[in-house]
Amino acid sequence: MDKTPLFLQPAFHEKIWGGTRLRDLFGYDIPGETTGECWGISAHPNGPATIKNGPLQGMTLDQAWSSHRELFGHYSGDDFPLLTKILDAKKDLSVQVHPDDAYAREKEHVPFGKTECWYIIDCDEGSEIVYGHTAPSKEAFRQAVEEKKWDSLLRRVKVKPGDFFYVPSGTIHAICSGCLILETQQSSDTTYRVYDYDRPGADGKPRELHIEQSIEVANCPHHDPELTYHVRQEAQARFTELLREDYFTVSHWEIRGHADPIQKNWPFLLMSVLDGEGTLVIESKNYPLKKGDHLIVPSGAESVSFDGTLDLIVSNPV
């Protein structure tokens, strides 16, 4: 089995709320001055990433998933399960909510709902997110939406670099201006907007809202998930498991020299380099890593280590 890691060329999306930090901080060749999203590891039809190296160079990730399932440990399912993004919120994103799998399959005829999580890479001082709401019931939530009582309904949380948030399907949320976030999520692009600040879209008209769907899928009342981090400290590395849940496991790896972090209990690994540079070593073969790289370590890689100074977000399906 080929053990070459799959380095990926991201797909980019311009958004009315986007900016230029994906270019300014990561060196990406972005399509415009309002680029909001880098889909770094994606097999979604709305923005598949392209393999940049090795025997599958030029193939999109969805094509590799269909034709070379051995690289992914013969993981079950017709569709690649996860999507990794970096989002640059120069302006506020809409207040939104995502459905669970059952609702998405029944109503939208897509394979996945959307549970996600956010690692705050950077943010302006005083930045915040919308995370949940104050309504005690569906009826109270509907009434507050209909009466546009956004200030009292929406729950705002201050954020700082290094913060982590788990956003299960049904969570009312919004990334607000000044935030640069790495998002790990199910491979879904289904979003219901409940509020968009009455602003016009790119065509000058208000963007579509999805009030009824939002009310149907919103968790009422909101409960903050309880998170327990698991940390493994080594001489030259620190590995923090941020989340382990039904769809994915997400960790923050900080390499400051040499590290052998891998215990082979994963079908394949998704890696995004947030900062630094170094080397990924797979069975004595070296692969350079730098800030902004997105890659997949395939199932056949048994011996994996690192050298250098690197900060990575690493995930895998469960």
Which positions are catalytic?
193
Phi/psi for 102 (5° steps) reads: -60, -45
Q: How far is the C-alpha of 238 from the C-alpha of 255, rounded, in Å?
A: 7
Phi/psi for 104 (5° steps) reads: -65, -40
Q: How far is the C-alpha of 196 from the C-alpha of 209, rounded, in Å?
A: 8
Q: What is the 3-state secondary structure (H, E, C) of 179-196?
A: EEEEEEEECCCCCEEEEC
For the chain, the straight-line distance linking the first and the last C-alpha, in angstroms and rounded, comes to 22
